[in-house]
Structure formats: structure tokens, C-alpha cells
Amino acid sequence: MKNSKEKNSKKYLNKVIGIIDKPYFREMGLYGITDRVEQKYVLKKVYGFDVRIYKNRNTYNSRGECIYMEDRLGYWEIREFDLKGNCIYYENSNDDRYYFAHVIKRIL
């Protein structure tokens, strides 16, 4: 059994990246990934860019926009932003999904 101070290998973390889904923090916990450095590594690979994680499980991109949040019960929200900082997509664990009007106008 792994000592709580031992780190998971990069090989193990990369395998987990391929199988986890939202809620990410709950899933990472099931796979023994509780260290913030390891969680940041996993989410960086999931999103494809650097992220910051705060104590409350809110995850931010490099521009300070909250791209993911999750509570301890497994409820989650995910957001995507354009380069101007406008939220262009929202989804949550209740299966609500929204594309915002300013995006649709540009597409049409």
C-alpha cells in the first residue's frame, strides 16, 4: 500500500488522465491522486494548458477565469471563455448546457 507521502508515478498519472471524467477531483481521489501538484498535472493534461487550483476545488486558467468548480458532493460546473474573457459555454452536472448568444451571433 502506498504511503500517503509517496508520489504517484508520471506513468500512473498519465493512465488515469485517459480514464477520468467529471467530477475530476472526486475521480482523482478514487485513484489516490490527492496531492495538489499531481492534481494540477492531471488537469493540465485534461485541459491542454496550465491551470491553478484553489482550496475550494475551483480551477482557473492563466487569465484568472474559473473554468471548473466542484463541490464535495460531486456537483460540478465547467466554463469555456473566448480570448476577450466572454463565457462562451457552460455545463454542469445537472446536464444543463448553454452556448451564449454573442457566440451564436458570430457563427450565423
23 preceded by a cis bond (ω within 30 of 0): yes
Give the pLDDT confidence of 61-101 residue by residue, as tens digits.
Answer: 999 999 999 999 999 999 999 999 999 999 999 999 998 86
Residue indicated by cell numbers 471548473: 68
> What would the pLDDT profile of 10-23 be if each residue is shown by its tens digit?
999 999 999 999 99
Cβ 34 vs Cβ 41: under 8 Å: no
Domain limits of the chain? 10-107
pLDDT of 6: 65
Which set of grid coordinates corresponds to residue 20? 477520468
Instruction: Return mean pLDDT, the chain.
Output: 89
In the numeric block, the cell 498519472 is attached to 13
Q: What is the pTM of this model?
A: 0.83
